[in-house]
Amino acid sequence: MEQLKIAICDDEAPTLSMLEKKTLDFLAKEDLDASVRLFSGGAELLRAYETDEHPFDVILLDIKMDGPDGIETAKRIREKDGGVYIVFITSSAEYVFRGYEVRAFRYLMKTELAYGFDKVLRDTIHELGSGDEPVFAFQFGSEKIRLDPKYINYFESSKRVVRIALDREEYKTYAKLDDIEAQLGAAFVRCHQSYLVNVSRIEKLTPGELVLKNGETLPVSKKHRKAVNDAYLWTMR
């Protein structure tokens, strides 16, 4: 696994320092290689995304901050990065349910930091992948391409030609959608006979279609509606 990139954002200096120490202590105990960057507010964190669309693997993000709060900051991050794992740090349970809007991976109450921090960070890193990074490899003309699946929006199949759609580019290859579905597992769900969609890229669902975070719409067939709905709800847990 490549070096982890972790961001910690909190506008209270003592809490920011404490979260940094707990993160570094955890990384040392787990013998993990990671870079840790500190941010004293949402605006400062968002500036990191001005030059790099995917600068972090994990963000520990305070919800209640001056300026853009944690929810607003996470919404703006999600516009560019659908794959980063966001862990909200909050002082009040009333904010937890707002995190569903931005698909937060975990929530940690500030009162639970003493005994719950290591478990939450361990679960997050485990989900991110403690072994080799997932790769989707395929032939594109004479070139062999390797992509991180989390940046793929969806696959569209037509007469054995599969279109691989990302935000700013696309590829085509010869493959069976069933084989791709089996390879990628639960991160992707079949929404239609011809479409396999990245669950983390879904913005909202209606009975007959889904809307992606980039505004594209895909059909949802009656046959696959329940599977899509279940997968989408699971990402909001």
pLDDT at site 106: 82
Looking at residues 176-195, what average pLDDT do you find?
88
pLDDT at site 133: 54
Q: Summarize pLDDT for 62-85 with one digit per residue, the tens.
A: 998 988 999 999 989 988 887 789
Q: Would you say 76 and 23 are in contact if contact means Cβ atoms under 8 Å apart? A: no
Tokens coding 100? 């569903």
CA distances from 164 to 71, 176, 232 (A): 31, 12, 21
Tally of structural domains, the chain: 2
Q: Which of 80, 112, 129 is the last residue of a domain?
A: 129
Q: What radius of gyration do the chain's Cα atoms show?
A: 19
Residues 179 and 72 in one domain: no
pLDDT at site 159: 87
Q: Would you say 153 and 166 are in contact if contact means Cβ atoms under 8 Å apart? A: yes
CATH number, domain with residue 82:
3.40.50.2300
Tokens coding 231? 């997968």
Measured in degrees and rounded to the nearest 5, phi and psi for residue 165 equal -100, 120
* pTM of the complete model beyond 0.75: no
Report how far residue 89's alpha carbon sits from residue 232's, in angstroms, rounded to the nearest whole number. Answer: 23
Residues 95 and 190 in one domain: no
Residues 120 and 231 in one domain: no
CATH number, domain with residue 153:
2.40.50.1020
Cross-strand bridge partners of residue 161: 158, 174
Residues 125 and 16 in one domain: yes
Range of the domain at 153: 136-235
The fraction of the chain above a pLDDT of 90, given in percent, is 47
Say yes or no to pLDDT of 186 above 80. Answer: no
Measured in degrees and rounded to the nearest 5, phi and psi for residue 75 equal -60, -45
More confident residue, 110 or 45: 45
Beta strands 188-192; 217-219: pairing state: unpaired
pLDDT at site 94: 62
Q: Which of 100, 129, 158 is the last residue of a domain?
A: 129
Report how far residue 124's alpha carbon sits from residue 83's, in angstroms, rounded to the nearest whole number. Answer: 12
Residues contacting 155, CB < 8 A, separation 6+: 162, 163, 164, 165, 177, 180, 188, 195, 196, 197
Residues 168 and 110 in one domain: no
Residues contacting 12, CB < 8 A, separation 6+: 62
Say yes or no to pLDDT of 179 above 70. Answer: yes
Say yes or no to pLDDT of 131 above 50. Answer: no
Q: What mean pLDDT, rounded, does the chain reach?
A: 87
Question: How does residue 170 score in pLDDT terms, banded at 50, 70 and 90?
Answer: very high
Say yes or no to pLDDT of 130 above 50. Answer: no
Closest to 157 measured CA to CA, from 107, 193, 207, 109: 193
The overall longest dimension of the chain from CA atoms, in Å, is 59
